[in-house]
Amino acid sequence: MSERRARRLALAAWVVVIASFCLFASRFATRLTNTFFGDVEFTGWSNPLAHRLLAGDRPWVDFFLPIPPGSFVVLAWVERVVGRRLLLNELGLNIACHLVMGLLAYAGTVRLTTRTNALLVAVSTLAVVVQLNKEIAYDHTAQVVAWASLVVGVHGLRSTAPRAAPRLWFAAGALAGFTHFFKQSTGLGVVLGWGVGLVVLAVLARLRGERLERRPAIAWAAGLAVGLAATLAGVAALGGSIPAFLQAVYRDGPALKGGTLHLARVMLNYVVGLPSFPGSFVIVALLAWVGVRLWRHQGLEVGAEPERDEPLGVRAAAGAAALAVVGFGGAYLALGSGAEQLPRVALAWSDALKLSPSLGLPFATLFALVHLGGAAARGRSTAAAADLAVGRARAGDTFVVLYVAALVCSLLHNTSAPEFRAFYDNNPIVFVALAFLFVALDRARLGSVKWVAAALCVAGLACNKLDRAMAATYPLGAEGYWAHLQVGPRARGLWEAAAVVRRTLPPTETALVLPDDLALAPLLERPRPPLRGAVVFVDQYPEHVLAHDLELLRREPPGAIVLDPAERVIWMQLYRTWAQSSPAERLNLVVLDELLSRYRKVDSRPTRFLVIPTTLEVWVRADLLPPAASR
């Protein structure tokens, strides 16, 4: 009866959490905070490629890029349902992915600790993942599938049903393999993460002197094969070339980001050279204090964690729901208040709260090492002591395997970034670290501090992204690619420049944005030149399409070229993050140094690249302008 009551209370809390989140999202999703890659992050790079699929273009035959097609397929379905190509389609899908991540965080954590902790992990996770500035569906959809693989694997590890466990392991492997249909680095991360996790399971069995159980690994490997086969079948179903897909995604992709050796050095720097959590003196002292209390009270062996008797009560369920109401409801009210910014004094502190989950990393590492050491000690202990310990081994094993798999997946998800971004992106380590943090505080008998930690995660909603959303107050109406969105001052400049292109250029003429940005190009409402490179950007444009595209541009120059930023030194500095000389840069320079002499500048307006003042320019081919305008 108490378990049934706990489930009802959890369901009631979830109804409130989902309602609060959806209310907040109804305003937040329509505020365009990134209008161009020169803002904080990228936005909307999957949607235009989904539109190309609907138009009948075949990936890796008609166009090439090093991104798998999963998000394009999902957004093509969304566009078909909505009936229009809108940037809001992708923004809405991203919000839906955030909600699913919160649900998955609960589903994965509830098998390892109390329902109270699972609810707090879920609410905190929702508040953290929605802050991600990078609003591109191929990241979000890949993460959802990777998170699902880890959560299903947790249920497989905790299952005692002889038939259910192999099926769950198979599903975990299939989801890991199918992640490659959405993003290869995330797919490689979750596959490698599970591989390391299975090795850890084997090591634990060896340390205890137990017989190695091979069926989970066999079921997982079979599922992996099915997931990878489904990825290739999906490419073939889209009319794409499988060899060209493999070339573009697994060879061109790493090469454009500096090469495999460079990416390996980046990974090494993640774990050796860069800080993984904010380690100020006060934070280190607080973590040490919690560690001492852990040692004095319930110890560091997390295998006993699910046995802790703490049924979900009304106060705990209401408290978790109240956190969501206050956090998401407060953000909703802030967006509707008419204020155009958050208080400057508080913003720097609240923005740092996104990294709160990283404080669980030290405890996760400590618990994992203690569990591994304990397995070795039990292997040398008496039979009675070993029997006592084995009763707790499955839960402890699950904690350790989940931590290892989530960490590896999170490190590999965005290896193109030189900085440590495990907690910047929507990685599974977010909810796993939160789970370890709340478990540690519970076991240190600091239950009230746990609620403070969850409240701080939710308070992080008052972040830079919310601040920029509050500044997006200009409604764009119901027409165009940015329909139903509200934008800020910089986006109004882009909107007006796109209107210049639409007024000046005949509908049949092509238009090209350089450096390429897929959030702006559809706003021009003019066809893009039929380049083989789907995205002319430093880490997206492969070498083997350059000759064809240059020949095409020289033979059939586009009717208009939009330069943002027009100052080449700005975008060249950004390109240097990945390459000293890239095919995308060489194409840009040919256009600027060779083709632009055939054009006349019809519009120029001040804009910015991050905080640097720059210029946006619109150039139209001279033969398309009246004689007076072309002089």
CB 203 within 8 A of CB 372: yes
Q: What is the pTM of this model?
A: 0.94
As a whole number, mean pLDDT of residues 501-518 equals 94
CB 124 within 8 A of CB 170: no
Cα separation, 195 vs 406, in Å, equals 11
Work out the number of other CB atoms within 10 angstroms of the CB of residue 611. 5
How would residue 1 be classed by pLDDT, with cut points 50, 70 and 90? very low
Would you state the structure tokens that stand for residue 83, as one six-digit string?
């009936």
First-to-final CA distance of the chain? 84
Determine the 3-state secondary structure of 414 from DSSP: coil
CB 10 within 8 A of CB 103: no
The DSSP string of 506-519 is: -TTS-EEEES--TT
As a whole number, mean pLDDT of residues 61-73 equals 96
Question: Are β-strands 612-621 and 599-609 bridged in parallel, bridged antiparallel, or unpaired?
Answer: antiparallel
pLDDT at 208: 80
pLDDT in tens, 259-315: 888 888 888 888 888 888 888 888 889 989 998 888 887 777 776 665 556 778 899
pLDDT at 280: 84
Cα separation, 356 vs 103, in Å, equals 20
CB 160 within 8 A of CB 391: no
pLDDT in tens, 239-272: 999 999 999 999 999 988 888 888 888 888 888 8
Work out the number of other CB atoms within 10 angstroms of the CB of residue 380. 11
416, pLDDT greater than 80: no
Report angle CA 596, 602, 606 to the nearest 5 degrees: 95
pLDDT exceeding 90 applies to what percent of the chain? 64
- Residue 622 is classified by DSSP as G
Residues in the chain, how many? 631
